[in-house]
């Protein structure tokens, strides 16, 4: 039988988990465990030896250690260090208002948004009629209005608000 496995070692760096032989990294441990092996070979009944951090002394040992490293360039992005430390003002000093700067592109986008919301308001004022294809406004309901019979259908929706906790959505 053929066995699919990772010949490398597990890599845990910051919140990322992966294998030294593969590029894929994940923050979820279950996803890490489900990363499909990258090598095929024969099944092995012997447990691999525990990795020991080698003490590098000779050039040949350095070459061996370099061969154990991942075969690809790992990119770690860090924020630049501040050029100078900024002194925090005394809490006794009076507060000053910051000057607002609105870029031309933001102003244009805000004006466009304002116009579209005014136009929608006018459409709603013109008639109380629900247009065919209008989506239900209840959270989680995916039904659309398809005529007067649609108002008789049962609406299944979430009455609460979404809750986000450590990357999970409830």
pLDDT surpasses 60 at 122: no
- The backbone torsions φ and ψ at residue 97, rounded to the nearest 5 degrees and listed phi first, read -80, 135
pLDDT at position 83 over 70:
yes
Stretch among 5-9, 22-26, 70-74, 96-100 having the lowest mean pLDDT: 70-74
Confidence of residue 103 (pLDDT cuts 50, 70, 90): very high
Q: Which has the higher per-residue pLDDT, 151 or 37?
A: 37
Name the residue among 34, 31, 47, 37 with its Cα closest to residue 4: 37
DSSP 54-111: ----SHHHHHHHHHHS-SSPPP---PPPPSSPPPPPPTTSPP-PPPP---HHHHHHHH
pLDDT in tens, 43-66: 888 877 776 665 656 666 666 666
The confidence band for 13, taking pLDDT boundaries of 50, 70 and 90, is confident
What is the largest distance, in Å, between two alpha-carbon atoms of the chain?
Answer: 84
Query: Is the full-model pTM beyond 0.75?
Result: no
Taken in order of first residue, the domains within the chain and their CATH numbers are 2-68 (4.10.1130.20), 129-161 (no CATH)
**pLDDT at 26 exceeding the cut of 70:** yes
**What is the pLDDT, as a whole number, of residue 69?**
63
Predicted pLDDT at 86: 77
pLDDT computed for residue 92 by the predictor: 92
């Amino acid at each position: 039988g053929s066995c699919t496995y990772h010949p490398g070692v597990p890599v845990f760096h910051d919140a990322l988990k992966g294998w030294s032989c593969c590029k894929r990294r994940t923050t979820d441990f279950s996803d890490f465990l489900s990363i499909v092996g990258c090598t095929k070979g024969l099944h092995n009944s012997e447990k691999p030896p525990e990795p020991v951090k080698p003490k590098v002394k000779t050039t040949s040992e350095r070459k061996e250690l370099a061969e154990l490293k991942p075969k690809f360039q790992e990119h770690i992005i860090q924020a630049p260090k501040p050029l100078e430390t900024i002194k925090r003002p005394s809490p006794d000093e009076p507060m000053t208002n910051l000057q607002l700067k609105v870029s031309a592109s933001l102003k244009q986008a805000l004006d466009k948004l304002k116009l579209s919301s005014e136009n929608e308001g006018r459409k709603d004022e013109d008639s109380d009629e629900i247009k065919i294809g209008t989506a239900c406004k209840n959270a989680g309901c995916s039904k659309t209005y398809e005529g007067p019979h649609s108002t008789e259908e049962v609406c299944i929706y979430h009455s609460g608000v979404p809750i986000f906790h450590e990357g999970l959505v409830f």
